[in-house]
Amino acid sequence: MSGFLFEQIIFGPIRSRRLGISLGINLLPTYKKHCTYNCIYCECGLTPPPDPEVHYPKREEIKKALEQKLVAMKEKDSMLDSITFAGNGEPTIHPHFEDITNDTIELRNKYYPETVISVLTNASKVAAPGVAQALLKIEKPILKLDAGTNEMFQKLNNPRINTTLEEIIDNMMLLKGQAIIQTLFVRGTNGETYIDNTTEKEVSAWLNHLEKLQPILVMIYPIARETPVETLERINNRELMEIARRVEELGIETEVY
């Protein structure tokens, strides 16, 4: 399976299992996935080799498209729970992410003041200029944390950049106590490599990271769609609920999807 791409800057709204009625913003090319990770479960497919000629949508183009969509939705009295930065990879890669976030806050306040703004990010660029500042302005900065150890991080998230889980945790600490953590639990094989982030070793290390990060919420979920690596298994609800129980013992609110 090659995965699917979002072919527009603004997509949806769609009904999200985590965010309700969500209007998506894709800050990345509409013709290819562009990400700092190459997660083996990503619904957008595997990440292609780096391209020196990446064409991002322009800030003005994004603002215009978002305003047109919000106006149209408002005229129909449509419901909207979240305006969500997602799309074809890692949204914080966009060189004008902070400015675009400011534009989005302005338009949200004008048309849908009760709606939250969310960002789905792998946190690899949080330390880049303006990114942490932008994430701290919105209601739901949702950071990916799928592994407890660097070994599992490299196998599961397969970063395209030279980084370690320790560096990612350091990035996340810039949002300590103010972010949401999302974690996908999975097991299976990728070629000759066996992957399982539900083991006691992984879960215990992951819990230690959560205790350090003090997120306002942890979102736990299994595979819900086809994955580019087809030999991965969906984790059952009983196992996920047991992991969630251990998170809640830390005093951290947890939701299982």
The reply to whether 2 falls in a domain is no
DSSP for residue 4 = -
Closest CA to 54 of 98, 95, 2, 8: 95
Q: In this structure, which long-range contacts are made by residues 64-70, counting pairs with CB atoms below 8 Å and at least 24 apart in sequence?
A: 65/8, 65/9, 65/10, 66/9, 66/10, 66/25, 66/103, 66/104, 66/107, 67/107, 67/111, 69/10, 69/23, 70/23, 70/107, 70/108, 70/110, 70/111, 70/112
The reply to whether 20 falls in a domain is yes
The reply to whether 226 falls in a domain is yes
pLDDT per residue of the chain (257 residues) written in tens, 0 to 9 = 456 677 799 999 999 988 999 999 999 998 889 999 999 999 888 888 877 788 899 999 999 999 999 999 999 999 999 999 998 999 999 999 999 999 999 999 999 999 999 999 999 999 999 999 999 999 999 999 999 999 999 999 999 999 999 999 999 999 999 999 999 999 999 999 999 999 999 999 999 999 999 999 999 999 988 899 999 999 999 999 999 999 999 999 999 99
The reply to whether 70 falls in a domain is yes
> Under a CB-based contact definition with an 8 Å cutoff, are residues 187 and 198 in contact?
yes
Angstrom distance (rounded) from CA 252 to CA 248 = 5
The reply to whether 217 falls in a domain is yes
How far from each other are the two terminal CA atoms of the chain, in whole angstroms? 24
The reply to whether 3 falls in a domain is no
CATH number of the domain enclosing 176: 3.20.20.70
The reply to whether 5 falls in a domain is no
Angstrom distance (rounded) from CA 92 to CA 123 = 8
Domain range for 114: 10-256
Number of structural domains in the chain: 1
The reply to whether 121 falls in a domain is yes
